[in-house]
Structure 1
Amino acid sequence: MTCKTFFATTAAVLALSAGAATADTWRYAFEEAMDEVQGKFAQKFKEEIEANSDHEIQLFPFGTLGESADTMEQAQSGILQFVDQSPGFTGALIPEAQVFFVPYLLPQDEEQLASFFKNSKAINELFPPLYAEQGLELLTMFPEGEVMMTTAEAVTGPDDLDEVKFRVMTNPLLVESYRAFGATPTPLPWGEVYGALQTGIIQGQENPAFFIESTKMYEVTDHITRTGHNNFTTAVMANKDFYDGLSEEDQTVIADAIDAAFDYIIDYQKGLTEESLEKIKEAKPSITITTLSDEERQPFMDTADSVEQEFLEIGGDQAQEILDQLKADLEAAADS
């Protein structure tokens, strides 16, 4: 999408919504479709806000207002009141948020993950001031599912990724992570990924199973590999000036809606990964879905220390504090 086309589209969409909008209408954009995880979270948030206040929430799925960089700019400028965006894209604004791309840092156990995201001191106390510096009020972070590799050739170890052009989000640490895995990391906007896989410009990408299934990414890949290296993380934010200007009552309504949506989305995801993989296999019987053994994962796990050191170098002034607190929070979640 060109800048001219994007701004014309944005103006048209917002003009249409402005006709019925009032001062009590809030706009919320996210990076996925309505029936995907972020869309489900947003719909629950909307339901809670509208049931407990006079406010209306207008939802804008991915592509409605441009790419991720566009919606972030709109959230910072106040065109949008709320935005859901992965640290994969906000890492350039908030280097410390790249910590979520240190491989094998987050656990695979879903209950432990939920406890961590809900109770983490790093997320609830250390990150909000960093987001505030960028004009954003951090409302919550939540997991979206185990990240899996999709590739043209089978992957059983880092050697199989040699010279593979692997699409990554525009995040320096994710680039470093896949370089350490042996691949040739290739940052691309999401809107270009399907076509790039189809034409062979790239040969791999990563995402949770539900997203691979819903976007039909399996049509342009032959192998899905579960390396267990990460869980997709996303963050819901509000424009800081907007949020600070709200009454205490409205802030409480938002906090309660966020809590309800968080609990809802954690429950919604139970069994979603396996269900999505079954749908993929049904749609494309020839695809291989492989879960690497602990022994096969070890060479990938061995790269974690080097990526962690890279994070400490590029992750901002509070990188060490964030990493240490995150590890303490994960340990607490494991013991809970």
Structure 2
Amino acid sequence: MKPLWTALTAAGLATLVALPASADVTLRYAHVGAEGEGQTRFAEELAKRIEERTDGRVTIEVFPNSQLGNLSEMLDAVRIGAIQMAHHDFSSLDRFYEDVAVFNAPYAYRGMDHAMKATAPGSPVLDEINEKLIENAGIRIVGNFYRGARHLTARYPVYSPADMAGKKFRGVPIQLWSTMLEGMGAIPTPVEISEIMPALMTGLVEGQENPLNNIIARKMYEANKYLMLTGHMESVLAVFVNEDAWEGIPDEDRAIMEEVLKEVGQESLDWYRDSEADEIAFLKEQGVTVIDEAAGLKLDEFREAVRAKVAEDYPAWADYLKRIDEVQ
């Protein structure tokens, strides 16, 4: 079945984008998350609270699990206004402005709280890059939320980048993931999230990397029995909107939406804190071997190798990363 947005007529698109300020507003919100993932919980909670607090003036219809198309299709649909809202990794927007991917840079943050502050509207670096996105693509980042630290899983134990040399590991189909996996020593193999389990089960790839919640929701532990707590990315996702649709929402309701976006985004930190230990325990119950520094994981080697590769492939990010580090 074709994604819904591809079937919309030009006239229909014009109607979707030019939302009248005097009328109630309905926004389509798409994402690739599956049932049981934190990102699915975020979108549902956001939609519920915005409808309640605007007394029904703003309704958000959530379409999870790539219902409206894969990542590339979803991004194009937001750009033209067929979908008004979505969320995904910041780096997915680099097709419109390359430097937005800096917010996904591996080992860029001191921890989850720092990551959220540095990537929220109001952060000087985010606001600067947001202007470029609006100018280039008519897309605005309006919020963020925490999905969890990303870790490696594999069919065999990994202790250092040397153990990944010559092995194919799945990466998000974005250049930064290829850079990161090359830094880890692996052969990057882009695979859409909807196809990740077949790739793992058939051995097309030896492993992958994702937050714990996603590893569990998609049952990746059935194919990968080793979990390496590399924590190489603080996975903060960007919530973004079509700019024309955003400007078509009355000021009062837009302000309510901004308040709710910030509120639920901050709550996502607590969701992760509350669930991390239970998620690791669950994976152990499924027969997964967890490898951390105490078990011989060489985090310093991963950190140094990945940072060096990022500096090589993205030399223009040096100033951005410095300014991100300065966010308190």
Q: Same fold (TM over 0.5)?
A: yes
- Tell me if 1:174 matches 2:177: yes
Shift of the alpha carbon at 1:320? 4.3
Paired residue for 2:40? 39
State how far apart, in whole Å, the 1-side matches of 2:79 and 2:120 are. Answer: 25
State the SS of the aligned residue for 1:229: strand
State how far apart, in whole Å, the 2-side matches of 1:267 and 1:118 are. Answer: 17
Farther-moved stretch of structure 1 (118-127 vs 40-49): 118-127
State how far apart, in whole Å, the 2-side matches of 1:140 and 1:311 are. Answer: 28
Q: Deviations over 1:260-284 (max 9, x none)?
A: 21122222222322221222222x2
Q: Is the 8 A contact 1:88 1:170 kept in 2?
A: no
Shift of the alpha carbon at 1:324? 2.6
State how far apart, in whole Å, the 1-side matches of 2:216 and 2:76 are. Answer: 29
State how far apart, in whole Å, the 2-side matches of 1:321 and 1:112 are. Answer: 17
Paired residue for 2:141? 138
- Tell me if 1:96 matches 2:94: no
Paired residue for 1:302? 304
State the SS of the aligned residue for 1:75: helix
State how far apart, in whole Å, the 2-side matches of 1:6 and 1:155 are. Answer: 40
Task: Indicate which of 321, 324, 327 corresponds to 1:326.
Answer: 324
State how far apart, in whole Å, the 1-side matches of 2:227 and 2:184 are. Answer: 16
Q: Is the 8 A contact 2:25 2:249 kept in 1?
A: no
- 4+ aligned runs moved over 6 Å, structure 1: none
Farther-moved stretch of structure 1 (241-250 vs 179-188): 241-250
Paired residue for 2:236? 233
Q: 1:38 to 1:209 in 2, by over 3 A?
A: same
Tell me the percent identity: 23
Shift of the alpha carbon at 1:8? 6.5
State how far apart, in whole Å, the 2-side matches of 1:34 and 1:58 are. Answer: 16
Q: Is the 8 A contact 2:94 2:101 kept in 1?
A: yes
Shift of the alpha carbon at 1:56? 1.5
Q: Is the 8 A contact 1:213 1:277 kept in 2?
A: no
Q: Deviations over 1:57-100 (max 9, x none)?
A: 11100221121111111111111111111124223332112223
Paired residue for 1:204? 207
- Tell me if 1:292 matches 2:288: no
| TM-score under structure 2 length normalisation | 0.87
State the SS of the aligned residue for 2:298: helix
Supply the RMSD in Å over aligned alpha carbons: 2.5
Q: 1:261 to 1:8 in 2, by over 3 A?
A: closer
State the SS of the aligned residue for 1:212: helix
Shift of the alpha carbon at 1:243? 0.9
Farther-moved stretch of structure 1 (248-257 vs 144-153): 248-257
| Consecutive unaligned residues in structure 2, runs of 5 or more | 17-22
Q: 1:9 to 1:118 in 2, by over 3 A?
A: closer
State how far apart, in whole Å, the 2-side matches of 1:160 and 1:280 are. Answer: 22
Q: Is the 8 A contact 2:228 2:297 kept in 1?
A: no
Paired residue for 1:6? 2
Shift of the alpha carbon at 1:35? 3.1
Q: How many residues align?
A: 312
Amino acid across the alignment from 1:35: G
Q: 1:323 to 1:193 in 2, by over 3 A?
A: same
